[in-house]
Amino acid sequence: MNRQCNLTKRIQTSKGPRYCPVVLSANGRIKPDLVLVGDREERHPEGAYYLSWYEGKRLIRLSVGKDAATATARRLQKEAGLNAVNNGVAVVPDGQNGHRSVAVAVADFLDETKLTKKPKTLAAYTTALNYFTESRPNLYLEDIDRRDLLKFAAFLCDEKEQAPRSVYNKFENVMTFLKANGIRGLAGKNDWPRYTEEEPETHEDDELNTLFAACDEKERLWFEFFLMTGMRGQEVMYTYWSDINFKASTVRVSHKPDRGWTPKAYKEREIPIPAKLVISLKALKAKSDKTCNLMFRTSGCNVKMNFLDDLKACAERAKLNKDNFWLHKFRATFATRCLWAGVDLRTVQQWLGHSDMESTMRYLKPSRSQQVREKVNEIFGGKKSKNLRERSTYELKSLASRIKAFHHAMTAEELAGLLSVSRLTILRRAKRGTIPCFRVGSCVRFDPANISKWLVALASDSLASLHPFRLASPKVSRNSCLVLASLAFFACFVSLGSTPCCAGVGSGALDKPPRGSGLDSM
């Protein structure tokens, strides 16, 4: 184990939060609030001091508060402890010496969070950590164990009546707090709260039509903008007219330093918008105040913060359940409709501003269209379409493999059964020459190898989207039929002895074309 213990301070720089070495005086004490940023000494009153040391190859960091004298004492104490452990001496805690209460550690953690995170994130941490200190008020950081975390989860469920997902989120925030204070490995995989992953909710067309019918012109534009861009609530609130490119039909999510707002994960992005929305935005801009850069504003050019209240008011006017309407549901609807329309997942991820595809997948509602139901029925033995153009490439190739396994000339009845069409349809197409066939006497037969190739070509050339028979292989000429008939007749004698091919499968009478079909004169 390493004996050295370093002392740094976590400060805010132009490039984000950073751990910087402290400045020491001649007697080895810390100069309060002074740190080394590069080669320069700078004063940074914000942030807390951190001890850092290595356990093997793993770096451990531990917050020791904002007081320089306390940080120096903790450093000397830790170095003494590391030396003692290296020499085989057991280190026993001395009462409450060096211990900090959870409440003090929480206050320091929230002070740092305020410097580096957004207000919404700070509020989430504040709520979770206040609940944690309420559940174990007299606890010290160094005394926290697995049972305390399990009791905290039970406290959220039983006393605070939190939903399972809320319990998980608050538990996760507390674990982040403990990790920042150098406490790891207390909760195992099975100790974390569990919740049921619910299917994302999206708006149906009739629901949206009813809602928009109850909106006035301005309200309709607000909610159509949410729906057609998939932007987050604050992204819409802080959209400037300069973010709209009317020529390219795009909207940009960008940093607004003049209002102290940054996009989530500090990522800017561009989203295409439909022509319908562009026309509505042009009309709004023509009537808007030219001195205000906000697209949606309140009096005094202030950010409009009450979209959710307006949405629920519109839902009530439309006699809809207002609990089924919230702003983020428009975002899930946007993502789902884009995927259903054939936009690739990577593009939707970029439009939504997600850092990974797993986040995007949580917004997507499974398709329940008529086409999907037909595919399920087809997979599990439902009635198949009689038209090959409605069948998948996989099914056509599967049929081709099955037919290729036949070692005798096929009858019209056999082929019709495999293709799930009528025998009469097969005979009519054979007469027109739009399916490979040949005659053996008065019977029509089909070579499995030729039928198999025909189906493969149908699948490979995307002919399944057109008529399955008319756009098959080119018309089979009469001479080709005679050659095929001779070869097949000879093959039948080789494989079946002296039994003619027509008699090899059922009676010849079944395979004769029906009277009046025209095949008898083919």
* CATH number reported for the structural domain that contains residue 303 in this entry: 1.10.443.10
Q: Nearest CA to 492 among 445, 453, 430?
A: 445
Q: Examine the fold and report which residue of 35, 56, 86 is the final residue of a domain before the chain moves on.
A: 86
* Unique residue bearing structure tokens 């998939």: 230
Spatial distance between the Cα atoms of 47 and 11, rounded to a whole number of angstroms: 5
Report yes or no on 96 lying in a domain: no
What stretches in the chain show pLDDT beneath 70? 1-3, 88-100, 137-139, 367-392, 461-522
Nearest by Cα to 236 from 310, 294, 301: 294
221 vs 280: CA distance, rounded Å = 7
Same domain for 351 and 233: yes
pTM of the model: 0.55
Instruction: Identify the domain containing residue 330 by its residue range.
Output: 205-361
Is 215 in the same domain as 130?
no
pLDDT at 91: 54
* Model pLDDT for residues 401-443, shown as the tens digit of each residue: 888 888 888 898 888 888 888 888 888 888 888 889 998 888 8
Greatest alpha-carbon span in the chain: 116
Residues 209 and 336 in one domain: yes
In a domain, 224, yes or no: yes
Each residue's pLDDT tens digit, 273-330: 999 999 999 999 999 988 999 999 998 899 999 999 999 999 999 999 999 999 999 9
| 156 and 240 fall within a common domain | no
The answer to whether residue 93 sits within a structural domain is: no
Beta strands per DSSP E along 448-489:
none
160 with 213, same domain: the answer is no
Q: Do 76 and 33 form a contact (C-beta atoms < 8 A)?
A: no
- Asked if 77 and 130 sit in the same domain, the reply is no
DSSP state string for 423-457 = HHHHHHHHHHT-S--EEETTEEEB-HHHHHHHHHH
Tell me which of 165, 191, 217 is where a domain ends: 191
In a domain, 232, yes or no: yes
Does 497 map to a domain? Answer: yes
| Claim to verify: residue 243 and residue 147 sit in the same structural domain | no
Q: Bridge-partner residues for 498, per DSSP? A: none
Residue 171 contacts residue 153 (beta carbons within 8 Å) = yes
Q: Are residues 161 and 217 in the same domain?
A: no
Pick from 310, 309, 328: nearest CA to 264? 328
DSSP-based three-state secondary structure for 47 = coil
| Nearest-angstrom CA–CA distance, 89 and 346 | 56
Structural domain total, the chain: 4
Q: How many residues does the chain have?
A: 522
Residue 101, classified by CB atoms within 10 Å of its CB into exposed (0-12), middle (13-18) or buried (19+), is middle
Tokens of 30: 């810390």
Other Cβ atoms closer than 10 A to 458: 25
In the beta sheet, which residues pair with residue 272?
250
Q: Are residues 397 and 500 in the same domain?
A: yes
How would you write 287-310 as a 3-class SS string? Answer: HCCCCCCECCEECCCEECCCHHHH
Question: Is residue 84 helix, strand or coil?
Answer: helix
pLDDT for residue 90: 57
**pLDDT for the residue 382:** 52
Query: With 0-12 CB in 10 A as exposed, 13-18 as middle and 19+ as buried, what is 103?
Result: middle
Q: Are 186 and 149 in contact (CB under 8 A)?
A: yes
User: Looking at residue 26, what is its pLDDT?
Assistant: 82
Distance (Å, rounded) from C-alpha 309 to C-alpha 258?
26
DSSP strand pairing (250-253 vs 269-272): antiparallel
Residues 340, 244 share a domain? yes
Other CB atoms within 10 A of residue 175 CB: 17
Residue 236, in any domain of the structure: yes
Q: Is residue 1 situated within a structural domain?
A: no
Query: In 353-411, which residue ranges form alpha helices assigned H by DSSP?
Result: 357-361, 370-379, 393-404
Q: End of a domain among 32, 51, 86? A: 86
| 327, 223: one domain | yes
Q: What does the DSSP assignment read for 124-136?
A: HHHHHHHHHHHHS
Strands annotated E in 38-159? 40-43, 49-55, 58-63
pLDDT in tens, 188-216: 889 999 998 888 889 999 999 999 999 99
User: Where are any strands of DSSP class E within 268-365?
Assistant: 269-272, 297-298, 302-303
For residues 321 and 266, membership in a common domain is answered with: yes
Rounded distance, CA 165 to CA 161, Å?
Answer: 12
Q: What is the pLDDT of residue 392?
A: 67
Sequence-ordered list of residues with C-beta below 8 angstroms from that of 488, at least 6 positions apart, any chain: 409, 438, 440, 445, 447, 501
User: CATH number of the domain that 163 lies in?
Assistant: 1.10.150
Task: Indicate whether 501 belongs to any domain.
Answer: yes
Q: Do residues 459 and 396 make contact, with C-beta atoms less than 8 angstroms apart? A: yes
Residue 335: what residue type? A
Residue type at position 370: Q
Give the pLDDT score at 493: 47
